[in-house]
Amino acid sequence: MVLEMDHVETILGQWKKQRPDLDCSPMGVIGRVGRARQLMTNKLDDVYKRYELSSIEFDILASLRRLGEAVTPTELYQTLMLSSGAMSTRVDGLVKRGLVERQASEIDRRSCLVTLTTEGLALIDKVVEAHVANEHQMLLALTEEEQAQLAMLLKKWLVANE
């Protein structure tokens, strides 16, 4: 059996030596979630950049696509945890590129609905396919069963903490 170490294992060993009184075992989980996230984010960004999208732009377009309906800027910034001002700026950029449109609301004239244009829909459908293929590729180091187990454990933590 091969006993390979990862970066967090090294860090745990260093703490063990310098502060043997501390039980740093939770770093084995939390540190690895952080490090995995960082590496995963880099790989996800590779695909976004191929289509000249930032991570947030992808999230906006993907939200509109998977919800299957137009949503207000307020719903968008609350869902994606951005300020209203930041969302306005992001939507502006997508409007300028012809990927989304703002439609006046018929029931509340203060409000508007952000919708995908034909070009935006075609783009996000293409990007999501590349995105999902990329994600499949990223998980090849784990068996289907391990992936399911990992998802299940993270879900249990999230149900208790989100």
Partner DNA sequence: TATTGTTATACTCTATAACTATA
Partner DNA sequence: TATAGTTATAGAGTATAACAATA
**Binding region for its own copies (CB under 8 A):** 4-9, 11, 14-15, 17-19, 22-30, 32-37, 39-41, 44, 65-68, 125, 128-129, 132, 135-136, 138-139, 141-142, 146-151, 153-162
> Do the beta carbons of residue 116 and residue 98 sit within 8 Å?
no
Q: How far is the CB of 117 from its own copies (least distance, A)?
A: 17
The option from its own copies, DNA, none interacting with 19 (CB < 5 to 8 A, set by class) reads its own copies
User: Which one of its own copies, DNA, none is in contact with 72 (Cβ closer than 5 to 8 A by kind)?
Assistant: DNA
- Spatial neighbors of 127 by CB under 8 A, at least 6 apart, are 47, 48, 51, 53, 58, 61, 62
CB closer to its own copies, 18 vs 118? 18
Q: Which two tokens stand for residue 28?
A: 């084995």
Residue 35 interacting partner from its own copies, DNA, none (CB closer than 5 to 8 Å by kind): its own copies
- Residue 7 CB, shortest distance to DNA, in Å, is 18
Answer positive or negative: Cα dihedral of 60, 61, 62, 66.
positive
Residue 27 CA to residue 87 CA, distance in Å, equals 34
Q: How far apart are CA 162 and CA 155, in angstroms?
A: 10
Task: Please choose which of its own copies, DNA, none residue 102 contacts, taking the beta carbon within 5 to 8 angstroms, the exact cut-off set by kind.
Answer: DNA
Residue 6 binding target from DNA, its own copies, none, CB below 5 to 8 Å by type: its own copies
DSSP for 19-57, please give it: -TTS--HHHHHHHHHHHHHHHHHHHHHHHHHHTT--HHH
Nearer to DNA, 105 or 143 (CB): 105
Closer of 23 and 92 to its own copies (Cβ): 23
